[in-house]
């Protein structure tokens, strides 16, 4: 494999090695927290340690950072691969610099969200982080499958990341609200995010099958151009690269 093929696999490797194991642990801790709370409400003595709540919060914060980081990794590969292939820097250097700034600003906003305490600043940094993801996702080169948005790895992944960012921003509200309104919102939205993550396993596998390796691209492009899915066609060998003088 070429270097670009190795970089292409970085996103799924990080998802499998970091995001999904963390997701399983966070869900497990969430169920334990709920079980302990129910036992306490009934006056029962729970065998679940009281530290499980703190573990759930800390692991949830790590999960948010991992999800956003993996999403940015995928976006960076598509965006900068498109910049290199189409020589965008030579045509519009300011655009490339602006895209690089957006990546840095998004990471900085997420970092600030982790340490922000006041409600206003948590809202500001959460909004900036979400905007960064959405704007970067609108750049050229992103494999979106907009015509099949309901089964798109990109759209469900961005939605899941935005839900995780929102969950992180409302975290202090959950413990300050005595009516449990924010806790219920947290449960509902993160249940939706969990379903999206499960779907990511399916759509991510499909995307790996649909995105060709570097040496396959010229052949796959011919398949699309000749509409080989609807009629017989012949794929020609790619022309050899000219030798340097």
Report pLDDT digits (tens) over 12-62.
999 999 999 999 999 999 999 999 988 988 888 888 898 999 999 999 999
Question: 19-36 burial, b if ≥16 CB within 10 A, otherwise e?
Answer: bbebbebbbebbebbeeb
User: Mean pLDDT across the stretch 171-193?
Assistant: 90
Report pLDDT digits (tens) over 125-171.
999 999 999 999 999 999 898 888 888 999 999 999 999 999 999 99
Stated as kind and residue range, the H or E segment containing 171 is: helix 171-176
On average, the pLDDT of the chain sits at 90
The residues, any chain, with a CB within 8 Å of residue 233's CB and separated by 6 or more, are 222, 223, 226, 227
d(C-alpha 162, C-alpha 144), whole Å: 16
- Please state the pTM of the whole predicted model: 0.88
Chain CA centroid to CA 186, Å: 19
pLDDT at 160: 96
**Is residue 74 a contact partner of residue 81, using CB atoms and an 8 Å limit?**
no
| 178 three-state secondary structure | coil
d(C-alpha 217, C-alpha 103), whole Å: 27
pLDDT at 215: 78
Model confidence at 238, in pLDDT bands (50, 70, 90)?
Answer: low
> Up-side HSE of residue 86: CA atoms within 13 Å toward CB?
13
Please classify residue 150 by burial: count the beta carbons closer than 10 Å to its beta carbon, then call 0-12 exposed, 13-18 middle and 19+ buried: exposed
Structure tokens at 33: 């927290």
Of all residues in the chain, the percent with pLDDT exceeding 90 is 63
What letter does residue 211 receive in the DSSP assignment? Answer: S
């Amino acid at each position: 494999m070429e270097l670009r093929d190795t970089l292409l696999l970085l996103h799924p490797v990080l998802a499998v090695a970091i995001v999904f194991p963390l997701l399983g642990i966070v869900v497990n801790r969430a169920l334990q927290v709920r079980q302990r709370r129910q036992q306490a409400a009934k006056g029962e003595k729970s065998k679940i340690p009281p530290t499980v709540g703190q573990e759930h919060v800390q692991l949830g914060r790590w999960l948010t950072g991992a999800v956003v980081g993996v999403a940015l990794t995928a976006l960076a590969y598509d965006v900068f691969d498109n910049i290199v292939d189409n020589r965008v820097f030579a045509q519009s250097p300011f655009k490339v610099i602006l895209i690089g700034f957006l990546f840095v600003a998004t990471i900085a906003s997420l970092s600030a969200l982790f340490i922000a305490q006041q409600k206003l600043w948590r809202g500001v940094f959460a909004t900036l982080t979400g905007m960064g993801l959405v704007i970067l996702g609108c750049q050229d080169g992103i494999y979106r499958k907009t015509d099949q948005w309901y089964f798109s790895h990109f759209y469900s992944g961005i939605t899941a990341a935005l839900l995780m960012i929102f969950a992180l921003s409302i975290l202090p509200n959950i413990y300050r609200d005595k009516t449990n309104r924010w806790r219920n919102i947290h449960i509902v939205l993160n249940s939706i995010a969990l379903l999206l993550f499960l779907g990511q396993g399916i759509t991510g596998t499909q995307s790996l099958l649909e995105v060709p390796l570097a040496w396959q691209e010229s052949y796959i492009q011919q398949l699309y151009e000749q509409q080989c899915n609807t009629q017989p066609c012949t794929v020609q060998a790619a022309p050899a690269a000219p030798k340097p003088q």
